[in-house]
Structure 1
Amino acid sequence: MRILHTSDWHIGRTFHGHATLDALRGVLDALVGQVRDHDVDVVIVAGDVFDSATPAAACYTLLTDVLGALADAGAQVVVTSGNHDSAARLGFQSGLLRPGLHVVTDPATAGRPITIDDAHGPVHFYALPFLEPALLRHVWEGARTQADVLARAMDLVRGDLAERGGRSVVVAHCFAAGVESTPQLERDIQQGGLDVVPLATFAGVDYAALGHIHGRSELAPHIRYSGAPLHYGFGEGGKPRGSWLVDLDADGFADARWLDLPVPRAVVTLTAPLDELLTHERFAAHAGDWVCAEYTDTLPQPDPLRRLQERFPHCARVVHRPADAAPQERVRYAERVRAARSDRELIALFLPHVRAGEGASPREEELIADLLDARTAREAAR
């Protein structure tokens, strides 16, 4: 059996305020092409199909179109909900879907497989939707964490598999031990921190198709993340986008290889003084990219975003990162302000605070003194 493992489509997500729906449609069209070109039997979407619990109508249209195209390409599809999805909204029409399209959003189905046959017999797909510990404590007493609820679910999987026999694939949406953390975990699965699931949790199955991490990762030959099909943040720049093509033979996991997906617009971070970013030839190749510009001038520069967008129309983020910024003092700025005894002291504190350590120039000191003296004279004349 040939499986295409993908996840984290995040339909409806924006990139620094810019819509990504058309770009995602193009990438998912290419994914449908992979299914057709490689004779894929089953496509797995391991959670976070939508980016929001309340997706717009256009997001449903895209999902409907892609699921239909995958079925037309000859594959069955197994979809689970992630922590970004609303399980109810994603799963409300699951009973109305055409044969071969399986959308699993109910935790009560853990341990009940979707069974698909090939020439070697059955393959049991245990599709686990995102398991929210707070909602399952009344079902699985003592379960308090993601590790707890996934351990309970996998016990059900192994118990069912022991009775059925055959090969097995589990689909889960979680943060598994051994994966590199990434800034694209915008909403941690456990509020206040990452709730790590041990790899041993997934023992006993032939392949574990995981979602939640936006970059590809191989935690073991048979335990992998596919990552997201688009770059959704500058921290992902340079990381490949694609899917895993997984083969099962008569004995179980046989092989997995990476299939690249197209990148509609590259994501880059450029660092240099502002004038250099605006003029140097070495940056010319990035005119069509999504750009995060980190300018290293000592002082903040006027209107940097507008100026940068004249050269980089898709500059979406500007950061002032002075190359020679002074280390932060131990006493917080607010405490020093409270201790100031005059307006001159307040200004002397304020300017270095907002200008990366750069105080007033001699000419600025003269202007400040003139303004303060003029104010004092006005107050004395009242």
Structure 2
Amino acid sequence: MRILHTSDWHIGRTFHGSSTMDALAEVLDALTAQVREHAVDVVIVAGDVFDSATPAGAAYTLLSDALVSLHDAGARVVVTSGNHDSAARLGFQARLLRDGIHVLTDPLAIGDPVTIDDEHGPVRFYGIPYLEPAIVRQHWNDVEMRTQAQTLAHAMDLVRAGMTENPGRSIAIAHCFAAGVDATMGLEREVRQGGLDVVPLAVFDGPDYVALGHIHGRQRVSERVRYSGAPLHYSFGEQSKPRGSWLVDLDADGLADVRWLELPVPRRLVTLTGTIDEILSAENVAAHADDWVCAVYTDALAQTEPMRRLRESYPYCAMVQHRPDVAEETVERSYADRLRGAVTDTERIEAFLEHVRSGHGPTERERELIREVLDDRVRADALI
């Protein structure tokens, strides 16, 4: 059996205020083409299908089109819900879907597999929807569920019980933050930084393959436990991470092979760093005019309307940051250090400007304005 593992579609998410629907539709069309090209039997979507618990109508349309296209390409589809999804909204039409499209959102059905046969016999697919401990502990009052680790451990116990009742090869699908994940690989924005949400790798012992979602960069946690990441770049922090899915082959004995299939990137993301003039150089504009741009300009002083200037050359400039180049010893000086020795009002103002501008004091024109304002104040005080 050949399985395509994908996740974190986030249908409806915007990128710095711009819709990603058309770009995602393009990528999902490419995913469907891969299903045909590689004769994929089953497509797994491991959670965060939508970006919101209350998706707009267009998001439902895109999802329906994608699921039907994957099915028409010859694949069965198994979908689980993630932390961004409303399990009720995602799962409400599960019984109405055509044969071969399975939407698994019910925590009480974790131990009941979707069974799909190949020439070697049955393969059991166990879908674990995203489980928020405070919400699902009502279903299992005799089990302690304060953390994701405890909750997923119980869910996997249910999976292993199902495996005992239904012998054969098995696949588990979950949406969580597993121990061993590289934190630079595109963590989902709501993942907490403490240890409560980290699920030990040993929790996933048992199935032949575990398809995970929740982080946006591909990750090989172990040979049989992997994240596929998101099909689109949803932040500049993800720009260097490849987009794609895992192609998983099962033989008669279980996991046989896993390889990566690249997906197209509709519009590249790039971070340009330098002075405004360097960023706006002809060479940079020629290379990146059609890219999503994050501009980090290093001029000593903040520029006037930098976004407007940049968008004249980069129509898809989405973010501007001012990060002036300063000497390390200058940055480390405290405000108190700068004020020490300042006697006049002019010196105090200059010390303040140096502090808020990371070491850069007033320009000559600003010094003139400071002197004029202080002189006006002196004259006004003299008239009182």
TM range (shorter): over 0.9
Which of 244, 247, 250 is the matching residue for 2:246? 244
Give the TM-score of the pair, scaled to structure 2: 0.92
Matched, 1:61 2:61: yes
Say whether the 8 Å CA contact 2:285–2:314 is kept in structure 1: no
Runs of 5+ in structure 2 lacking a partner?
none
Moved more, 100-109 or 277-286: 277-286
Q: How does 1:113-152 map to 2 (within 5 A)?
A: 113-140=113-140, 141-152=143-154
* Corresponding residue for residue 200 of structure 2: 198
Change (3 A) 1:349 1:94: farther
The CA distance in 2 between the partners of 1:144 and 1:332, in whole Å, is 45
Sequence identity of aligned pairs in percent? 65
Post-superposition shift, 1:301?
1.5
The CA distance in 1 between the partners of 2:154 and 2:192, in whole Å, is 17
The CA distance in 1 between the partners of 2:366 and 2:274, in whole Å, is 27
Q: Deviations over 1:312-346 (max 9, x none)?
A: 1111111111122555447579x999xx9996576
Q: Deviations over 1:75-130 (max 9, x none)?
A: 11100010111111111111111111111112111111111111111111000000
Change (3 A) 1:105 1:190: farther
Say whether the 8 Å CA contact 1:43–1:77 is kept in structure 2: yes
The CA distance in 2 between the partners of 1:299 and 1:115, in whole Å, is 63
- Where 2:160 maps in the other structure, the secondary structure is helix
- Where 1:138 maps in the other structure, the secondary structure is helix
The CA distance in 2 between the partners of 1:44 and 1:91, in whole Å, is 15
The CA distance in 1 between the partners of 2:376 and 2:60, in whole Å, is 65
Post-superposition shift, 1:6?
0.3
AA aligned to 2:175 is H
- Where 1:29 maps in the other structure, the secondary structure is helix
Change (3 A) 1:324 1:269: same
Moved more, 364-373 or 208-217: 364-373
- Where 2:88 maps in the other structure, the secondary structure is helix
* Corresponding residue for residue 109 of structure 1: 109
Post-superposition shift, 1:284?
2.1
Q: How does 1:207-246 map to 2 (within 5 A)?
A: 207-246=209-248
Q: How does 1:361-372 map to 2 (within 5 A)?
A: 361-372=363-374
AA aligned to 1:359 is G
Post-superposition shift, 1:288?
0.9
Change (3 A) 1:190 1:353: same
Q: Deviations over 1:33-92 (max 9, x none)?
A: 111111111100000000111111100000011111111111111000101111111111
The CA distance in 2 between the partners of 1:183 and 1:16, in whole Å, is 20
Change (3 A) 1:33 1:362: closer
The CA distance in 2 between the partners of 1:194 and 1:322, in whole Å, is 38
Change (3 A) 1:379 1:219: same
Say whether the 8 Å CA contact 2:4–2:248 is kept in structure 1: yes
Aligned residue pairs: how many? 379
Post-superposition shift, 1:372?
1.9
C-alpha RMSD of matched pairs (Å): 2.3
Post-superposition shift, 1:368?
1.0
- Where 2:280 maps in the other structure, the secondary structure is helix
Post-superposition shift, 1:190?
4.5
AA aligned to 1:104 is L
The CA distance in 1 between the partners of 2:90 and 2:193, in whole Å, is 23
Which of 354, 357, 360 is the matching residue for 1:358? 360
* Corresponding residue for residue 26 of structure 1: 26
Change (3 A) 1:305 1:163: same
AA aligned to 2:35 is V
Change (3 A) 1:266 1:353: same
The CA distance in 2 between the partners of 1:223 and 1:371, in whole Å, is 67
Which of 339, 347, 350 is the matching residue for 1:348? 350
Moved more, 229-238 or 181-190: 181-190
Say whether the 8 Å CA contact 1:299–1:356 is kept in structure 2: no
Moved more, 218-227 or 136-145: 136-145
* Corresponding residue for residue 180 of structure 1: 182
Which of 283, 288, 291 is the matching residue for 1:289? 291
Post-superposition shift, 1:361?
3.8
Change (3 A) 1:319 1:135: same
Runs of 5+ in structure 1 lacking a partner?
none
Post-superposition shift, 1:308?
1.3
The CA distance in 2 between the partners of 1:363 and 1:304, in whole Å, is 21
Say whether the 8 Å CA contact 1:175–1:194 is kept in structure 2: no
Say whether the 8 Å CA contact 2:185–2:217 is kept in structure 1: no
